[in-house]
Amino acid sequence: MVIAPHADDEVLGCAGYLLHQVKAGAHVVVVLGTIGGINERQDFEMRLKEATTVNERMGTTMFYLFKNKDAMLDTVPSLEITSRIDKYIEQYRPDEIFINYRSRHQDHIKMYDCAMAAMRLKEGYMPKLIALYEYPFVSDGLDIVRGGKIYHDISDNIDEKVALFNLYASQVKAAPSPLNESGIKSLASIRGLECGMQYAEMFYVQKMLL
């Protein structure tokens, strides 16, 4: 299961890993915090169509929690968000759960806090892995992300990851923003250098059962 504030964070953070998992036969569920908002880039119908197309192409099952709350998730009570995440965790009981790292965006802060609240110990269930995926703006070097690191080689599907993000056409931005092909490949290249691969995704371990 991937928990993401917005439709595109799941691709930016871990599309390479998800593509490999789906190919290996895993059932992957993507839970988006919100689709749509008041900004012209956040027209609900447009964003829903993008998200549906992307997740169908990845082979993942997609849900969203709220309509038209982009940049406003901090106005939603934490109990309501956490309860909705709880519902999907209880329904699917995933082996692995990936959550956005906190960053500085108010929606990312809210979803991180609520998702981590939903990670509390539950009777008879605990995922084998809880990890944070990156958001490209981690490259400003100012965010402190706690947890040991896991790297996943995406050298064979980096182009598919870029193609998936490009399907979120409303979210693609020109350089120097990292929200484009150059930005995605640059971060993946850095992570690849760190682990001896051409391209990689990096995750921060929050809890792991061996």
Q: Are 157 and 20 in contact (CB under 8 A)?
A: yes
pLDDT digits (tens, 9 = 90+) for 169-183: 999 999 888 999 999
Domain count, the chain: 1
> What single-letter DSSP state applies at residue 145?
-
**Angle at which helices 9-23 and 44-58 cross, to 10°:** 30
**Structure token pair of residue 206:** 């929050």
Q: What is the CATH classification number for the domain harbouring 33? A: 3.40.50.10320
E strands along the chain, which residues? 2-6, 29-35, 61-67, 96-100, 129-133, 148-153, 200-208
Q: Are 165 and 184 in contact (CB under 8 A)?
A: yes
Find the largest Cα–Cα distance for the chain: 48
- Give me the residues of the chain with pLDDT under 50, please: none
Domain that holds residue 56: 2-208
Q: How many residues does the chain have?
A: 210
Residue closest to 188 by CA, chosen among 157, 167, 209 = 157
How confident is the model at residue 31, as a pLDDT? 98
How confident is the model at residue 137, as a pLDDT? 78
**Structure token pair of residue 128:** 């084998």
How confident is the model at residue 142, as a pLDDT? 54
Is the whole model's pTM more than 0.85, yes or no?
Answer: yes
How confident is the model at residue 145, as a pLDDT? 78
pLDDT digits (tens, 9 = 90+) for 7-47: 999 999 999 999 999 999 999 999 999 999 999 999 999 99
CA distance 27 to 96: 11
**Structure token pair of residue 44:** 């609900």
How confident is the model at residue 103, as a pLDDT? 86
Write phi, then psi, for 191 (nearest 5 degrees): -65, -35
